[in-house]
Amino acid sequence: MRPRPYPAARVRMKRIAVPARPDWEDTARRLGFAHHERYWTDDACYLFQRSAIETLLRPAVDELWHMALEVVERASRDDEVLATIGVPAAAWDGVRQSWRRGDPSLVTRFDLAFDGAAPPKLHECNGDTPGALYEAAVFQWLWFEDQMAHGHLPQGCDQFNRLHDALVEAFGRMPQATPIHFAASARNAEDRVWALYLADCARQAGREAAALDIEAIGIDGAGGLTDLEDRPIRCLVKAYRWQLLLQEPFAGALGGPAAPAAIEPLWKLVLASKGALVWLWRMFPGHPNLLPCWFEGEAAAAPAACAVKPLFSIKGHNVLLRDPALPGGRAETAGPYGAEGRIVQALHYLPRFDRSCVPVWATVGAWIVGGRPEGIGVLEAPAPIIQDHACRFVPHAVVN
């Protein structure tokens, strides 16, 4: 794939203050947005110039998606890819079969360093049950409508956000399976919001939806999965990563002739591994939206300034930044990951902004739904590594 030239952008993205809606917390509680208190920002937004979205961001996201699919295609016929990115050997045949069947993908989120002026750089690909979907698709759109109605945003502005309609359309295109089961851990509020929201999208598409606790899934005499009412699970939408799901007692029933269709499909395990970033760089070296990337054992030529990330870490855990400009030459986060292997990525900092005179770093999460770029959400944190316990979701608007 040949990289396209980039036009020069004139305006960078900006963080601006706006009045908070007086009833936004009541609205969040009424809508079931359970984790809003520690997470949502109502009194600020990021402004993007429309030309930056249309000429820089959207084309880059579309191109990254198609390049990512080429990595999956190679993984389906090259054991070296599956081995190096950490896919368990027991899942290799399932990954290949899932890809060759054409099992449909629902959502993917690319985490990008993007300042509205330079080509966006891919930091990570979240290919399996990516978080922050409800707040990106619904709550920031409600925020936008309210702020426009009260005159707190520039006239004529918009939001790059067609996520909800795209999700409803995607469920409408899926092969018939009644009901679609939406499974999440009852102990995880964020996962429950994710699953319940997608179930609502399915119902709006005219599909029957059933919610259940992931721990309540059973196995019938034929080896198929069942819910608490002993109904067969023929289509499973899971707020649960494949790495964990494959360790469950019912993991054996996720393959074979009685296996349910799964969202996300098993081939998305390739894009859940940060090892996919290495293969993207190997297959498309020098691409303007990619950062140089290596597996840890082959990084002798890596630059002194780099980011070291476990293959399957999430939410900013176990990330190490090496940079001579940092105090002590490094910054590091804790967590349970790393034994599975790591990658080394050339260091490219997120853009920095000020929040009440305190520096914050922001990442743009760009969403693919049904194979198309359909919207963005912005997460910011008081450190260059975006961690779940410290980050906040900030809505956005697009201006002419």
pLDDT digits (tens, 9 = 90+) for 369-378: 999 999 999 9
Tell me which of 15-24, 188-197, 262-271, 365-374 is least confident: 188-197
Percent of the chain having pLDDT more than 70? 96
Residue that wins the pLDDT comparison between 366 and 300: 366
Is the pLDDT confidence value at 28 over 90? yes
Q: What's the chain's length in residues?
A: 400
Is the pLDDT confidence value at 249 over 90? no
Average pLDDT, the chain: 92
Q: Cis peptide leading into 264, omega within 30 of 0?
A: yes
Report the alpha-carbon distance of residue 397 to residue 395 in Å, rounded: 7
Report the alpha-carbon distance of residue 235 to residue 198 in Å, rounded: 13
Q: What does the pLDDT average to over 263-277?
A: 96
Q: What is the pLDDT of residue 356?
A: 82
Residue with tokens 């949502």: 40
Q: What is the pLDDT of residue 1?
A: 47
Is the pLDDT confidence value at 152 over 90? yes
Report the alpha-carbon distance of residue 223 to residue 256 in Å, rounded: 9
Per-residue confidence band for 298, with pLDDT thresholds at 50, 70 and 90? confident
Cβ of 152: how many Cβ atoms within 10 Å? 17
Taking a C-beta distance cutoff of 8 angstroms, is the pair 42, 21 a contact? Answer: yes
Q: What is the pLDDT of residue 255?
A: 74
Per-residue confidence band for 248, with pLDDT thresholds at 50, 70 and 90? confident
Contacts of 330 (CB under 8 A, 6+ apart): 320, 321, 322, 323
Q: pLDDT, tens digit, for every residue of 52-72?
A: 999 999 999 999 999 999 999
Residue that wins the pLDDT comparison between 376 and 244: 376
Is the pLDDT confidence value at 38 over 80? no
Taking a C-beta distance cutoff of 8 angstroms, is the pair 38, 95 a contact? Answer: no
Q: What does the pLDDT average to over 184-192?
A: 88
Is the pLDDT confidence value at 85 over 70? yes
Beta bridge partners of 369: 107, 372
Q: What is the pLDDT of residue 5?
A: 42
Report the alpha-carbon distance of residue 183 to residue 180 in Å, rounded: 10
Tell me which of 132-141, 248-257, 271-280 is least confident: 248-257
Per-residue confidence band for 8, with pLDDT thresholds at 50, 70 and 90? very low
Residue that wins the pLDDT comparison between 107 and 35: 107
Beta bridge partners of 219: 225
Please state the three-class secondary structure of 125-178 as a single string. EECCCCCCHHHHHHHHHHHHHHHHHCCCCCCCCECCECHHHHHHHHHHHCCCCC
Taking a C-beta distance cutoff of 8 angstroms, is the pair 361, 380 a contact? Answer: yes
CA-CA distances (angstroms) from residue 58 to 52, 115, 393? 9, 14, 20
Q: What is the pLDDT of residue 395?
A: 98
Q: What is the pLDDT of residue 34?
A: 75
CA-CA distances (angstroms) from residue 52 to 140, 281, 360, 398? 20, 24, 21, 9
Residue that wins the pLDDT comparison between 249 and 44: 44
Is the pLDDT confidence value at 6 over 50? no
Q: Cis peptide leading into 88, omega within 30 of 0?
A: no
Give the global pTM: 0.94
Q: What does the pLDDT average to over 360-376?
A: 97
Per-residue confidence band for 346, with pLDDT thresholds at 50, 70 and 90? very high
Side-chain half-sphere exposure of 70, counting CA atoms within 13 A: 14
Residue with tokens 């293969």: 279
Q: What are phi and psi of 354, to 5 degrees?
A: -115, 130
Per-residue confidence band for 299, with pLDDT thresholds at 50, 70 and 90? low
Is the pLDDT confidence value at 154 over 60? yes
The Cα angle at residue 12 between residues 8 and 14, in degrees rounded to 5: 165
DSSP state of 40: B
Is the pLDDT confidence value at 20 over 80? yes
Q: What does the pLDDT average to over 299-309?
A: 83
SS3 104: coil
Per-residue confidence band for 304, with pLDDT thresholds at 50, 70 and 90? confident
Q: What is the pLDDT of residue 372?
A: 97
Tell me which of 108-117, 168-177, 198-207, 263-272 is least confident: 168-177
Domain locations in the chain as residue ranges:
14-291+348-399
Long-range contacts of 195-204 (CB under 8 A, 24+ apart): 195/237, 195/238, 195/239, 196/32, 197/133, 197/134, 197/137, 197/138, 198/106, 198/133, 198/167, 198/237, 199/237, 201/164, 201/167, 201/168, 201/171, 202/171, 202/237, 204/168, 204/171
SS3 184: strand
